[in-house]
Amino acid sequence: MRVISGKKKGLKLLSPLDNKVRPTTDKIKESIFNILFDIDDNSLVLDLFCGSGAIGIEFLSRGAKMVYFCDISEQSVNITKKNLQNCEFNDNYIIINKDFIDCLNYFYNNDLKFDYIFLDPPYKFE
């Protein structure tokens, strides 16, 4: 798994060690971002169920202003943190380790609105 394009193009990303998280493949990421084309450098992004953080990191690499990474899994949050550190993104993200409902309530209560929202819940999510 790697960053497809932008400032951090080609940088390898860590993946979870178990099969509870299924990272978005490079091919799928490339398809998504080909559809989106250019990312506005003032954009605010939500990566809900962030897993390894690969999608949000791709947004940052392509110039997004701020990304919110949300996941209830402590393992996912730790991998996301390590990937962000490896990419040297230091101040344009926020990680929230809570249930998605709590995250959505936080955004609503703080009147946060996003330009891009990526949702990829776990397969076994009810």
H/E/C letters for each residue in 9-57? CCCECCCCCCCCCCCCCHHHHHHHHHHHCCCCCCCEEEEECCCCCHHHH
User: Looking at the domain assignment, is residue 10 inside a domain?
Assistant: no
- Single-letter code of the amino acid located at 72: I
In the numeric block, which tokens belong to residue 33? Answer: 């971002």
Structural domain span for residue 33: 26-119
User: Looking at the domain assignment, is residue 124 inside a domain?
Assistant: no
Q: Which of 120, 119, 68, 72 is nearest to 94 (CA)?
A: 68
Measured between alpha carbons, how far is 72 from 97 in angstroms, rounded to an integer? 5
Q: Which of 23, 99, 86 is nearest to 60 (CA)?
A: 86
Q: Which pLDDT tens digit goes with each residue over 71-109?
A: 999 999 999 999 999 999 888 999 999 999 999 999 999
Question: Given this model, what pLDDT does residue 21 score?
Answer: 67
Report the CATH number that the domain containing residue 93 is assigned in CATH: 3.40.50.150
Mean pLDDT lowest among 3-7, 13-17, 19-23, 97-101: 19-23
User: Looking at the domain assignment, is residue 17 inside a domain?
Assistant: no
User: Looking at the domain assignment, is residue 72 inside a domain?
Assistant: yes
Res. 46 pLDDT band, cuts 50 70 90: very high
User: Looking at the domain assignment, is residue 4 inside a domain?
Assistant: no
Res. 26 pLDDT band, cuts 50 70 90: confident
User: Looking at the domain assignment, is residue 55 inside a domain?
Assistant: yes
User: Looking at the domain assignment, is residue 114 inside a domain?
Assistant: yes
Q: Provide the mean pLDDT of the chain.
A: 90
Quote the pTM value: 0.90
The structural domain count of the chain equals 1
User: Looking at the domain assignment, is residue 104 inside a domain?
Assistant: yes
